[in-house]
Amino acid sequence: MQSFLQQAVFGIQLGSLYALIAIGYTLVYGVLRLINFAHGDVFMVGAFVCYYACTRWLPFRDLSADPAGATTNIALAVVVLIITMAVCALLGVLIERFAYRPLRNGLRIADAHFWGLVAALPVAVRLGPFSHPGVLLAWLVIGVAFGYALRPVVAWIARRSVRATSRLNALITAIGVSFVLEYGGLLVVGADPNFVPTIVPERVYVLPGGVRVGTPQLAILAISLVLMLVLRYIVTYTRRGKAMRAIAHDIEAAKLMGIDTDRVISFTFALGGALAGAGGALVAALTHVKITPLFGLLPGIKAFVAAVLGGPGSIPGAVLGGLLMGLAEAFVAGSKASAFRDAIAFCILIVLLLVRPSGLLGRHVAEKV
Amino acid sequence: MSELLVTRAVSRYFGGLAAVSNLNLTVRSGELVGLIGPNGAGKTTVFNLLTGVYTPTSGDVMFEGKRVNGLRPYKMARIGIARTFQNIRLFRALTVLQNVQVAAALRARQGFWSAVLRTPRQVHDDAAIRAQCMELLDRLDLAPYADTRADALAYGVQRRLEIARALATHPSLLLLDEPAAGLNPNEKSELMSLVERLRDEFSLTVLLIEHDMRVVMGICERIYVLDYGEIIAEGAPDAIAEDPKVIAAYLGTEEA
Amino acid sequence: MLWLLSRALGAAAVLFGLGAMSVWLTHNVETYYYLVLIQCGIAATLAVSLNLINGITGQFSIGHAGFYAVGAYVGAAWTMLWRPIFAKELPWLEIGSLPGDVANLIIALALGSLAAAITGLIVGTPSLRLRGDYLAILTLGFGEVIRVTLLNIDAVGGARGLAGIPTLASTGDLAAFWVFGLLIAVSLLTRNLMQSTRGLTWLAVREDEVASDAMGVDTTRVKVTAFVVGSTFAGASGVLYAHFFTGISQDIFGMDVSIMITTMVVLAGTGSVTGAIIAGFALTAMPEALRFLKDFKEYRMVVFSLALIIMMLTRPQGILGHAEVGFGSFVRLYQRLRLGVRRSAR
């Protein structure tokens, strides 16, 4: 019984993180009917931003040497969380603007410059580490050059007849973005795993029954809850939130009602990105797992399953799904079939898609003949 | 005249909503019957029930004397029921000829392996199908467009192609779902004569959904009126035009 | 029956030509280039087989490497584990001599393809009810489940992979024969199908499933057949890979391999056989050319991903779209360049 409860504790921690990421998936799917494959990698970027912030950018005190610095550290930790969420929100917006929006609205000149910069990345990396300002400068220069080179191509494409894009194209684009983030990350920071050392005081409480619960786990749960409540407030009571729900119902009607759909969609991606970033920061700073540029892929997929489990477009569903996924994984990991810990997500997914594609809390929309 | 299609007390529920209830339709061989009703009355649902897209929740659909409830659409096509769609559903990347060839394929006797191995018989059959399809296109004045992509056609031509495609399946019963929608008056007149001509030349039975009363009154021999999923009237065009229930359904009743 | 004779003669001629070419290549081309060529052939076969599922019937399957893996493992299992059992009773199954090797390879191919076909059936059938993104994710899920399952079967090496598969007649002289023979087989099959009326019904399923259903096309059968045929050829490629490269491991059937194959099909043009072949060759040969770069795997993935994104944003139907490359297309291309882009058809 004790190990069952222990696994449950672990499962809830895992589940909260999956829930945070899953909300991002479900928001985007609700609004655009797009599976944002790159979302798990936004989570990864969040973890890395947190790592750099904790180890290089901000003056965290070494708690083993200076226990009194705990208050400073906690304050700094909050700053780290905010920075991470901001960066990841921005990343989400950029991805939407330059990878998904051109599929809806057509290519623009600005897209050429963005992708020119991205394409210059592998080239610039060859010149040296990114911490060197000269390398950054070179990257900008090459990027701008690529951008100008791509402009005529984009202009030529934009003049031609309408492309018929489908959701599958968006999915492939999303997969492409995910790979760019992952392998680009490998190029920039390398494959060596990093981890964040203890930055806030961590204590373990032993509950009656022998179950151990640590402050990190409580913090993860608490922060996740707060974020989810804030999100729920935004989606339910603010104008932007209502606009999001309107677009999820019928994007054309929303436009006709005067909603600036592009803005609201950007906002949606910003929200999702911020939550994923928060998840990444929490994971990095509080669980001290080893992070590599590829480590966002699997959690991303599991969180996606959670979103589908809860019903695409349903935020409570995403939370519920996340918790269920976390618990399922925790129990599998603790049992004899632990090798299947990652596969359990896919098994659940397969069964779910076959039995009830609309998820536990979603609505099924049939095709009109 | 034999009864080709009979529905007995057919109902279709979606959750608690009755889209169609207690439908009793009869269509006899060679007839040209119309199905009209206000928007949302359930007319396309009836077509979907008749072509296997939906299975009746209760009641029976009888075609040529046999019960066909629950048969999948492709089987319905094979036993002789063909349809067109309210929103045109052509195979857009395929040419006009290819669209028709797909429909003609259901009468082909050769299977997957013959196609893959290119047996002489299969090559011969394919050539025969192609010739038949060209002939069909010719009869519907579509031959000049044979190698044009379906999505490059004018709207009226697309509508004609939909009909040609349905005809290629050699149906006994042809269901036309708003074939005149979006056509200008000239095109509508042409469509009317086309439908009558096709009924005679191909020995068809036609059941047609339409909103344009001129078309309906012009060619239908008998009309069913549907409202809220139920048949509220049936009879010859003149009788229907005067039926107070029909008028109420379309125009509402006078304020007392 | 005359056609049967002429077909048989034609086939014999092709096989003989392939065999001769294979032997010539082995003796006249540096091993490194030969290996790359074989890899290109395998990749092209995978791309063409996926093209049947994705490009022609329009089902979005991104777990194709799973079938590849099943074929590889079952083929290897035969050669390494089961064959010795049978060889005790049937001495002609001993390897080391040409007839024995060929017999073994054929049996391995048959078993591997069958296993892959069954897997294709298992994956394809439930997929019938799903569309678009959901189908994609389902196939991805299946691919991963297959991978994890295979990795956990210790009898075939578990997580370490399987090494030391005895090379049969597939190495040395005849590797190119088998690989390109398979490629020709799948390409020919696809081409014949596409030129027939039945092939048109497959395209119709891609264009509009509801309408094709209404026109008498058994869409279920078409979709499942596509899955089964596609997976069979992927499995056969897997058998060849296992025996030619004498070892199989994680690398060959993870998600990134599935996505790479999908990239090939998408970039070249969904629905184009020659496009898939070209893409298979290009996307396999190019990384080899760039091998001198440090971190080349990451570069390759970044460059591919960028190419994928740019392609999706600019020309989602792929470079060739539904067209094939043949003599006529070069003529048309020349004409278009002369007349100017203005005059191009669509």
Chain A interface mutation, best of C64, C256, C302, highest count of A Cβ atoms under 10 Å: C302
Judge whether residue C60 has pLDDT over 90. Answer: no
Q: Quick one: which of B165, B116, B135, B134 has its CA closest to C196?
A: B116
Q: For the beta carbon of residue A233, count every other beta carbon within 10 angstroms.
A: 11
Distance, in Å, from the CA atom of A293 to the CA atom of A40, rounded to the nearest integer, reads 11
Which residue in chain A has the smallest CA separation from C143?
A346
Residue C231 lies in a domain: yes
| Percent of the residues in chain A that have a pLDDT greater than 70, as a whole number | 91
At which residue do the structure tokens 């349809």 appear?
B83
Chain C residues touching residue B112 (CB < 8 angstroms) = 193, 198, 225
List pLDDT tens digits, range B236-249.
Answer: 998 888 888 888 88
Q: For the beta carbon of residue C329, count every other beta carbon within 10 angstroms.
A: 13
Find residue B177's DSSP bridge partners: B209
Distance, in Å, from the CA atom of A14 to the CA atom of A8, rounded to the nearest integer, reads 10
Give partners of A (≥3 CB pairs < 8 A): B, C
Count of A-C CB contacts under 8 Å: 137
Query: Which region holds residue B18: left if phi is over 0, alpha if psi is between -120 and 50, else beta?
Result: beta
B105 and C218: CB-CB below 8 Å?
no
Domains of chain B are 3-251 (3.40.50.300)
A111 and C313: CB-CB below 8 Å?
yes
User: Could you write out the DSSP letters of every residue in A269-298?
Assistant: HHHHHHHHHHHHHHIIIII---B-TTTTHH
Of C132, C302, C312, the CB nearest to A187: C302
Chain B residues touching residue C218 (CB < 8 angstroms) = 74
Of C198, C201, C207, the CB nearest to B93: C207
Task: Check residue A94 and report its DSSP letter.
Answer: H
Write down the ipTM of this complex: 0.89
Residue C37 lies in a domain: yes
Which residue in chain B has the smallest CA separation from C5?
B119
User: If you average pLDDT over residues C190-215, what whole number do you get?
Assistant: 90
Answer for the pair C107, C80: CB distance below 8 angstroms, yes or no. Answer: no
A187 and C299: CB-CB below 8 Å?
yes
At which residue do the structure tokens 């509950």 appear?
A207
Judge whether residue C47 has pLDDT over 90. Answer: yes
Chain C interface mutation, best of A39, A179, A181, A302, highest count of C Cβ atoms under 10 Å: A179
- pLDDT in the model for residue A276: 95
List pLDDT tens digits, range C79-99.
Answer: 877 777 777 777 766 666 666
Give partners of C (≥3 CB pairs < 8 A): A, B
Judge whether residue C298 has pLDDT over 90. Answer: no
Question: Please, what is the Cα angle at B90 between B86 and B92, to 5 degrees?
Answer: 140
User: If you average pLDDT over residues C257-286, what whole number do you get?
Assistant: 83
| Percent of the residues in chain C that have a pLDDT greater than 70, as a whole number | 79
Assess C137–B contact: CB distance below 8 Å, yes or no.
Answer: no
- pLDDT in the model for residue C341: 44
Q: Kindly give, in sequence order, each residue whose CB lies less than 8 Å from that of residue C34, ignoring residues fewer than 6 positions away.
A: C25, C26, C175, C176
Q: For the beta carbon of residue C261, count every other beta carbon within 10 angstroms.
A: 28
Q: For the beta carbon of residue A109, count every other beta carbon within 10 angstroms.
A: 12
Answer for the pair B252, B38: CB distance below 8 angstroms, yes or no. Answer: no
C200 and B102: CB-CB below 8 Å?
yes
Assess B119–C contact: CB distance below 8 Å, yes or no.
Answer: yes
Q: How far is CA B243 from CA B17, B224, B237, C169, in A?
A: 27, 12, 10, 85
Distance, in Å, from the CA atom of C194 to the CA atom of C319, rounded to the nearest integer, reads 19
Backbone angles phi, psi at C162, to 5 degrees: -115, 125
Instruction: Reduce the secondary structure of A295-348 to three states and give it as a string.
Output: CCHHHHHHHHHHHHHHCCCCHHHHHHHHHHHHHHHHHHHHCCCHHHHCHHHHHH
**Can you read off the two tokens belonging to residue C139?**
């196939």
CA atoms within 13 A on the CB side of C148: 17
C200 and B111: CB-CB below 8 Å?
no
B115 and C196: CB-CB below 8 Å?
yes
Minimum distance, in Å, between the CA of residue C89 and any CA atom of chain A: 38
Stated as kind and residue range, the H or E segment containing A30 is helix A2-32
**Can you read off the two tokens belonging to residue C221?**
């059968």
Which residue in chain A has the smallest CA separation from C135?
A353
Report the amino acid identity of residue C87: A
Residue C298 lies in a domain: yes
Residues 146-165 of B with CB under 8 A from C: 149, 152, 165
Residue C2 lies in a domain: no
Which residue in chain A has the smallest CA separation from B51?
A369
Find residue B85's DSSP bridge partners: none
Which residue in chain B has the smallest CA separation from A366?
B14
3-state DSSP call for residue B227? strand
Which residue in chain A has the smallest CA separation from C309?
A173
Judge whether residue C44 has pLDDT over 60. Answer: yes
A161 and C346: CB-CB below 8 Å?
yes
Distance, in Å, from the CA atom of B192 to the CA atom of B190, rounded to the nearest integer, reads 5
**Can you read off the two tokens belonging to residue A210?**
């022998």
Task: Check residue C93 and report its DSSP letter.
Answer: G
C203 and B91: CB-CB below 8 Å?
yes
Backbone angles phi, psi at A185, to 5 degrees: -60, -40
Range of B68-72, C6-10, C112-116, C129-133 with top mean pLDDT:
C112-116
User: Could you write out the DSSP letters of every residue in C288-315?
Assistant: HHTTTSTTHHHHHHHHHHHHHHHHHHH-
**Stronger pLDDT, C339 or A224, i.e. the higher one:** A224
- pLDDT in the model for residue B104: 93
Assess C258–B contact: CB distance below 8 Å, yes or no.
Answer: no
Q: At what angle do helices C31-51 and C273-289 cross, to 10 degrees?
A: 140
Indicate the number of domains in chain C: 1
C207 and B91: CB-CB below 8 Å?
yes
Backbone angles phi, psi at A296, to 5 degrees: -85, -15
Torsion of CA C264, A352, A34, A234, to 10 degrees: -150
Burial class for A123, CB neighbours closer than 10 Å (0-12, 13-18, 19+): middle
- pLDDT in the model for residue C343: 42
C198 and B111: CB-CB below 8 Å?
yes
| Percent of the residues in chain B that have a pLDDT greater than 70, as a whole number | 97
3-state DSSP call for residue B82? strand
Give partners of B (≥3 CB pairs < 8 A): A, C
Q: Quick one: which of A33, A53, A75 has its CA closest to A313?
A: A33
At which residue do the structure tokens 């619960």 appear?
A213
C148 and A354: CB-CB below 8 Å?
no
Domain that holds residue C17: 10-343
Residues 310-369 of A with CB under 8 A from B: 369
Q: Quick one: which of C119, B199, C259, C346 has its CA closest to A171?
A: C259
Q: Which CATH architecture has domain A2-96+194-355?
A: Orthogonal Bundle (1.10)
Residues of B with CB under 8 A from a CB of A: 44, 48, 53, 85
Distance, in Å, from the CA atom of C111 to the CA atom of C232, rounded to the nearest integer, reads 10
Per-residue pLDDT tens digits of chain B, which is 256 residues long: 688 888 888 999 888 888 898 999 999 999 999 999 888 888 989 999 999 999 999 999 999 988 998 899 999 999 999 999 988 999 988 999 999 999 999 887 777 888 888 888 888 889 999 999 999 999 999 999 999 999 899 999 999 999 999 999 999 999 999 999 889 999 999 999 999 999 999 989 999 999 888 899 889 999 999 988 899 999 999 888 888 888 888 776 666 5
- CATH (domain of C327): 1.10.3470
Distance, in Å, from the CA atom of C194 to the CA atom of C180, rounded to the nearest integer, reads 21
- pLDDT in the model for residue B221: 92
Judge whether residue A338 has pLDDT over 90. Answer: no
List pLDDT tens digits, range B31-86.
Answer: 999 999 888 888 989 999 999 999 999 999 999 988 998 899 999 999 999 999 98
Judge whether residue A363 has pLDDT over 60. Answer: no
At which residue do the structure tokens 């669209």 appear?
B99
